[in-house]
Structure 1
C-alpha cells in the first residue's frame, strides 16, 4: 500500500543516513542515483539499454574485498528491495 511504501521509505532513508554516518571516513564521494543508459556501438548507432546499476558511491578501503565488505548489512539489502551491491575498483 501507499502507507507501507511511505513507511519503508522513512525507515530506509534514516537507515541509509545512519550507515553513511558510520562509514563517513570511508566515503570519498557521495555519488547519487543513476539515470537511463544509452550505448553507442562501433557502428555509431545510439540505443537505449538496460543497466541494473541504480546508484553509485566512491569509497576508500584497504582492498577490493574490504570495500565490498563495507556494504554488508547495508539498508539497500535489508530495507529496500535490492539483492546486492556491486563494487568495482577505480583503476589508474
Structure 2
C-alpha cells in the first residue's frame, strides 16, 4: 500500500470494496475505516468534497484535499488496482 493511503495527520484513507460502480473517490476518517467517513471525488481537474460525515474540521479538510491532490496519481493507481480495472 502506498504511503498516500496509509495516513496523514492521523486520518485514515480508504476505499469501500462495494463501490466500484462509482467514479474514483476516497474515504477519510480518524483512526480506522468507518461508515461515518468523509468522501472526496477524485476528478481529472479537481478534488471535490462529496460529504463530511466524519465531521473533519475545516482547517484539516483543506489540508486533506491538498494532500489528495498531491498524491492523486498514486491514489488513482490504487483505486484501479483495488477494483481490478
Give the structure-2-normalised TM-score: 0.29
Q: Which has the larger radius of gyration?
A: 1
Q: Relative CO higher for 1 or 2, CA cutoff 8 Å, sep ≥ 6?
A: 1
